[in-house]
Structure 1
Amino acid sequence: MSTIIKFFVAPDDEVAAGVAKGGPGDDLNPAVYGNFDVWTALGEWDTILTGAGADNTDVVSDDGDPLVLAASPTLTAALAGADAATVARTGERWRTLRADEGEDFDEELVHDLLTEIAGLAAAARRTDGDLYCWVC
């Protein structure tokens, strides 16, 4: 089964939950990816970047499929402040974690994914919004 994941920035949980049925539109400049466990990824990225290791991902729309998740504030801040070297190290560590679980992610794809999501996190911080992902 294929999974579509769209990362986006919204001003608050209410606005983010409002996109649950159709997904974030182009006005929210979503970063579109797919076919990985985003819930696990958000937790692993948080652990890699902050050492927190906590599962701080919130569900902002739980009416079933599709689902809207909010990245933790600590993860959003860490991604927003990540330089290119930090993004690269995070990607390599995440690829290693996933490989240990039998998943093989392309290095360039992981780099592009994390770079784009870090850019969204920076936009969230600049606009006093939050980083979300829509999963269908």
Structure 2
Amino acid sequence: MSSIVEFFVAPDDTSAAEALRHGPGQAFESLSFGNFDVEEAVVEWECLLAGGSFDELADAGEPRFVAEQDDGGSVVFAVSSRLSAALAAAERSRLREAAVAWAERRAADGEVVRTEIAEAILTGLAALVGSARHRDQAVYCWVA
């Protein structure tokens, strides 16, 4: 489980990788959360919002890492273009449905994610994706 999860906007993989050691900080527009397995979550969200199976996406290399510390510390990965497109296109009601479904999946695995928190994460991320797309940039995630 990740203790710090920070989604952020960057122009490219190289710029995003610069966040590896200390996080995106003030250099990038960002959104912070914590205490959930975000690497698994982004794959689940893509399944819920864009279709496909968890195994197919994981086998395809999602999420795609752009930087990793050798000691198993922080990582930076890209939010897939498919998930970004689904988030950008989703109405608030669709994001709520996905949030409820994700919270239920987590509960089935013994992890507690309140529906309100799940919805805040997905709506916040959708807004961040919209901002990134407006600037022709992408969304990444720093995990520590």
Give the TM bin, normalised by the shorter chain: over 0.9
Partner of 2:68: 62
TM-score computed with the length of structure 2 as normaliser: 0.89
SS where residue 128 of structure 2 aligns? helix
> AA paired with 1:95?
A
- C-alpha distance in structure 2 between counterparts of 1:106 and 1:132, whole Å: 24
Q: Which runs of 4+ in 1 moved over 3 A?
A: none
TM-score computed with the length of structure 1 as normaliser: 0.94
The residue correspondences of 1:89-104 to structure 2 (distance < 5 A) are 89-104=97-112
Q: RMSD of the TM alignment (CA)?
A: 1.4
Quote the offset at 1:2 in angstroms. 6.3
Q: Contact 2:49 / 2:83 at 8 angstroms: preserved in 1?
A: yes
Quote the offset at 1:32 in angstroms. 0.6
- C-alpha distance in structure 1 between counterparts of 2:21 and 2:116, whole Å: 31
> AA paired with 2:68?
D
Partner of 1:124: 132
Q: Contact 2:49 / 2:86 at 8 angstroms: preserved in 1?
A: yes
The residue correspondences of 1:1-136 to structure 2 (distance < 5 A) are 3-53=3-53, 54-55=57-58, 56-64=62-70, 65-136=73-144
Unaligned residue ranges in structure 2 (runs of 5+): none
Q: Contact 1:7 / 1:117 at 8 angstroms: preserved in 2?
A: yes
> AA paired with 1:126?
H
CA deviation string 1:77-129 (max 9, x = no partner): 11111111011001001001111101111121111111100111111221111
- C-alpha distance in structure 2 between counterparts of 1:73 and 1:88, whole Å: 21
Number of residue-to-residue matches in the alignment: 136
Quote the offset at 1:25 in angstroms. 1.4
Identity of aligned residues (%): 38
- C-alpha distance in structure 2 between counterparts of 1:7 and 1:112, whole Å: 13
